[in-house]
Amino acid sequence: MSFPYSYAILGLVPGLILTVVVAGMVLYTSLVVWEFCLRHPEVRDVCDIGQLLYWNSKIAWWFTAVMFILNNTFIQVRVFLHMKPVVYYRSNARRVFTSWSDPNT
């Protein structure tokens, strides 16, 4: 969702450069995680990686799980709070159409 905003602020060429840089970082991260999972076949998810990195502690597994849940919750709340209802009126109809949009647009 931030890519259209980045392109709007930066322009086409810097936006494309930023896209390539982000894609490179995502590729590098996925290769590191893939290699880690190949070396440790008992790992099933990110919570298992957190547990393995912190001395096989079950507390680390639960901490990682809670942090992921909170991260996703805060992202959803942030997106929801930055939206405002927009009401569209059609001149030839009596209905009112409501949509949600970003207040920055």
pLDDT digits (tens, 9 = 90+) for 23-80: 999 999 999 999 999 999 999 998 999 999 999 999 999 999 999 999 999 888 877 7
Same domain, 76 and 100: yes
Same domain, 25 and 72: no
- The residue-averaged pLDDT of 73-92 equals 66
Same domain, 76 and 105: yes
Whether 10 maps to a domain, the answer reads yes
Overall number of domains in the chain: 2
Query: Which pLDDT value is given to residue 21?
Result: 95
Question: How far apart are alpha carbons 102 and 100 in whole angstroms?
Answer: 7
Residues 6 or more apart whose CB falls under 8 angstroms from that of 76 comprise none
pLDDT at 103 over 70: no
Query: Which pLDDT value is given to residue 61?
Result: 96
Same domain, 32 and 58: no
Same domain, 33 and 61: no
Query: Which pLDDT value is given to residue 26?
Result: 96
Helix, strand or coil, per DSSP, at residue 87: strand
Could you tell me which of 4, 38, 34 has the C-alpha nearest to residue 19? 4
Measured over the CA atoms of residue 49, residue 44, residue 23 and residue 63, the dihedral's sign is negative
Helix, strand or coil, per DSSP, at residue 11: coil
Whether 44 maps to a domain, the answer reads no
* Domain containing residue 80: 54-105
Same domain, 33 and 63: no
Same domain, 66 and 34: no
Query: Which pLDDT value is given to residue 34?
Result: 92
Whether 90 maps to a domain, the answer reads yes
